[in-house]
Structure 1
């Protein structure tokens, strides 16, 4: 007799729980729904239905991957950000909720300053979530996105195509230079201290290290970006929005004051009350 969806979901949920997966009830539903090609409504309506053995084997294979601590976003091939679903794979960082603050801050800035056709540069674009979200939320904007990784740019291009976002992609090393004129610069760069990466949760070890490693104190890329933007910072209404590590916020603010002594500099807290978004704007 075949096992019902409900019973099988509990079984694999127990396996995930023992493996240290915190949100095991949701992830068990996600893995089953992914294999069965169900949405949430179809999953709920199928709870009492039997699962065929071949489908169970497929799901069990995915469960084994998750138990090995492969991020569920890589297993499913997707992740949500700012109300949209994006393709992700091990070539790109998995989107985090706090990064949505960058998008919100920029939308607010554009509306408050009444910028009609803002030119936006997204540095270290990764999967393209920031660039694409801004292009969709600000239809009149002209968005360019850069990354040092060719593989990441290919993922971002796929996401732009999926969401029909008109974005110019450029492979560029932000530590060496930042070219072009823009009204808004935005980046969620690597900002984790090199020594801290190995102590992070197992899933993070499978994300691209180049997208995580911010150098000895976590500020190498951040300071390089600030320095290079200062050379291309021309217009009074130009603004910079950077996601930062809360533990080095003071050092990043000091660097900002060094390169932008006459600018307004502020740090916004994230949902957890941690200093997360650095803003630099001409007074």
Structure 2
């Protein structure tokens, strides 16, 4: 038997020695998970004695966390934009940067009273972006697409948990915009953007995310570029494209958007001050070609036929 406070301290030391950042906070989450209580409730229970049936599962989780398995996978859920999402190996762990993107869209780009009528989340993964926006904008029609059926299964599970299954929220397997029918007022995407050569340098935790959701090709922008080429035809007039990117890609992507004719291109920083997001409006449609003289004659100079 051990006191809760003693267990908390020894577990935090164990994680710190194994290179886990925020070791104390991680240990608090694991301990609250095993005890079935809120993390803050632990502070009222420091004198509680823990028995072997409680310590044994905690030891298993501690070992896995010390080996680099993400805390969110061990807990099975993650808090994101005031909702709880199931989180596992099928998709990226939702991160604070992505949550900030949702905040920017809701609070800045589409303020209250003017939400998009139709929106598309490309490479939805767990569904955290699209489903959070669907919850913020109940009247919007939301399409979530991903090339991974495993990821879509996870997104469907989260949609059900949030009560968002139905006519307004649809999930479709699609390679980018291949099966995204119609036009949208907003297309948002957090696509794979890590250059292939950098994948060997990612943290132990990120290495548990599916490679399909990480690898952006030689320069990190292979998949992003494919989206940029096809996005205009899927955006409504003045429709918005919103992207989350790697820490050093905002400038290059902004230049690509400018060459493609996108309007009102802006970048925005994440909470760490890194230019992480790029926003752009749809390029204007090319003018319709003028009617040829032959077309004019076919209308105006056709012979009349007397009755």
TM-score using structure 2 length: 0.86
Bigger CA radius of gyration: 2
1:111 aligns with 2:111: yes
Q: Does structure 2 conserve the Cα–Cα contact (< 8 Å) formed by 1:178 and 1:229?
A: no
Q: How many residues align?
A: 279
Q: Which residue matches 1:275?
A: 275
Distance in 1 (CA, whole Å) between partners of 2:262 and 2:178 is 24
Task: Output one character per residue of 1:165-200: Cα deviation in whole Å (capped at 9) or x when no partner.
Answer: 242000101175643211110011111111101111
What is the rounded CA distance, in whole Å, between the counterparts of 2:270 and 2:212 in structure 1? 24
Distance in 2 (CA, whole Å) between partners of 1:63 and 1:152 is 27
Per the TM alignment, residue 228 of structure 1 is displaced from its structure 2 partner at its CA by: 1.4
- Aligned pairs for 1:1-283 (under 5 A) are 2-107=1-106, 108-111=108-111, 115=114, 118-166=117-165, 167-174=169-176, 178-233=180-235, 235-259=236-260, 261=261, 263-282=263-282
Deviates more, 1:224-233 or 1:172-181: 172-181
Structure 1, 114-123 or 135-144: larger mean CA deviation = 114-123
Q: Deviations over 1:231-268 (max 9, x none)?
A: 323x3221110111231222211221222x15221111
Question: C-alpha root-mean-square deviation of aligned residues, in Å?
Answer: 1.7
Work out the CA distance in 2 between the residues paired with 1:117 and 1:188: 19
SS at match of 2:11: helix
Inter-partner Cα distance in structure 1 for 2:262 and 2:125: 31
Structure 1 unaligned regions, length at least 5: none
Change in CA separation of 1:183 and 1:117 when aligned onto 2, cut-off 3 Å: closer
1:268 touches 1:275 (CA, 8 Å); kept in 2?
Answer: yes
- Report the 3-state secondary structure (helix = DSSP H, G, I; strand = E; otherwise coil) of the residue aligned with 1:247: coil
Q: Is the 8 A contact 2:250 2:277 kept in 1?
A: no
CA distances 1:25-80 after superposition (whole Å, capped 9, x unpaired)? 11111111111111134322222111011211110011010111101110111112
Distance 1:140 1:175, change over 3 A: closer
What secondary structure is seen at the aligned counterpart in 1 of 2:256? helix
1:175/1:221 contact within 8 Å kept: no
Q: Using the alignment, how far apart are the partners of 1:68 and 1:95 within structure 2?
A: 20
